[in-house]
Amino acid sequence: MQNILIVDDDKLTCDFIEEILDEFKVKIATSQEPQDALQQGQEQSFDVVISDINLQNRLTGLDVLRRFKQISPESEVILISGFGTLETAIEAVREGAFDYISKPFNINEVKAVVKRALEKKQLIKENQSLRKQLEISQASTSLIGSSPKMLAVYKSIANVANSKSTVLISGESGTGKELVANQIHFNRPRRHKAFLAINRGALPETLLESELFGYQKGAFTGAVHDKIGLFEEADGGTLFLDETGDTSPGMQVKLLRALQEQEIKRVGGLKNIKVDVRVIAATNHSLEERVREGKFREDLLYRLSVITIHLPPLRERREDIPALISHFLMKHLPDEKSRPAISQEVIDALINYSWPGNVRELENTIERLCQFSKGGIITIDDLPPKMKGKEKFHHREFFDDMPELDELERRYLIHVLEHTKYNRTQAADILGINRRTLYRMAERFGIDLGGE
């Protein structure tokens, strides 16, 4: 159960706020003395603190805010004032207040603000828990990134890990679909069983069938002994099928039967073989579009997409690029002494590049830079010419995937912030909004404004 602390020198106000928040089913504590409130904050954790600014005490609500940010930085603090000024509101936001409410109360506003604060706290707790669940011993296969879109991916992985249902992972080439499949597998209960992967596009049709289902001795020229296929090898574990959208109609029928019946038949075999396999498929095509074109079976699509996870392209999570750069530098040069430094100009250029090859292209770039950098530092001159451009976004990049309005707003906010090097005043001026609105926009989109 979540905890709320209400701080106001007027007990009737405390009781009133407590009453209007009764519907949230949370544990509520009150205090008329800021010193007592701070003591309570040291003794237990509060998800949300609601404090009047103008307390009849040497300490104000702003003091309560500052102290709570020291003793309990994870608490969200909402300030209330009947004598609010612009300066006070700005200071409250600067000091880290979640929101600022003026008296007399608008009950619906109070409820809405508190609800948002509680939801934010709950999401933070969930994401921390999910990230812990996703930690596996194989660091080289871990996913990197803390952007909102990657946190959504982590949540999906954690939610499906214990399921036996098929999963369809969509995303452009190079986004890391096999890493997602790997993470699903290694987060129990199948982690101690086999994880096998096959790339449909790398095999001709006849060989693909033999690889998946195996064959009996004498089934064809060269079949001199029985061979089990990947479905049997992965029994009890996970089978990852990449580039599923390129599967032929004949193979689609065989895959559908294997998924529906949980049994396969070897090439040239007569008996059905039961298998317990969790299938994870991946595609860089729109399978819905393939169905409309008559190139993919609709019933197979339904069977594969019981659970779907979309992996965003790198250009839609640019805030993750610095962490990915650091990860790949350590991966390809484990010895810190031989690891080159990388200039901020290079980092900016890599953030601004469009990355058509996504994370795979970024890793290849970092590996190349590690091999060819001179003088112990990677400079802008070490980059390929195509990555030295100063323009971050092409016009079509905003619109070619027809994003929703919120996504377009998020992209433009990031564009302006990076253009101003995260100078909040300049960014707010360009956007034509005040700084408080800028803070709230950044919070809504999960963007860290950093320091000035």
CATH number given to 140-310:
3.40.50.300
Pairing of strands 273-274, 263-264: antiparallel
Measured from the Cβ of residue 347, the count of other Cβ atoms closer than 10 Å reads 15
Answer CATH for 314-387 from 1.10.287.70, 3.40.640.10, 1.10.3720.10, 1.10.8.60: 1.10.8.60
Buried b (16+ CB within 10 A) or exposed e, 55-83: beeebbbbbbbebbeeebeebbbbbbbee
What pLDDT does residue 230 have?
A: 92
Indicate whether 393 pLDDT > 60: no
In angstroms, rounded to a whole number, what is the distance separating the alpha carbons of residues 34 and 9? 8
**Domain limits, the chain:** 3-128, 140-310, 314-387, 395-445
Supply the mean pLDDT for the chain: 84
What Å distances lie between residue 10 and 14, 16, 30, 158, 239, CA to CA? Answer: 7, 10, 10, 45, 63
- The model's confidence at residue 188, banded by pLDDT at 50, 70 and 90, is low
User: How far is C-alpha 425 from the geometric centre of its chain's CA atoms?
Assistant: 28
Indicate whether 326 pLDDT > 60: yes
What pLDDT does residue 374 have?
A: 60
State in words which class domain 395-445 has: mainly alpha
- Give yes or no on whether 3-128 and 314-387 have one common fold: no
What pLDDT does residue 296 have?
A: 93
pTM, rounded to two decimals: 0.57
pLDDT in tens, 32-63: 999 999 999 988 889 999 999 888 888 888 99
Q: Which residues, at least 6 apart from 323, have a Cβ–Cβ distance to it below 8 Å?
A: 144, 145, 146
What pLDDT does residue 91 have?
A: 80
User: How far is C-alpha 30 from the geometric centre of its chain's CA atoms?
Assistant: 36
What pLDDT does residue 391 have?
A: 45
- The model's confidence at residue 404, banded by pLDDT at 50, 70 and 90, is low
Higher pLDDT, 217 or 50: 50
Pairing of strands 195-199, 214-215: unpaired
State in words which class domain 3-128 has: alpha beta
What pLDDT does residue 205 have?
A: 74
Candidate ranges 154-163, 191-200, 288-297, 417-426; pick with highest mean pLDDT:
288-297
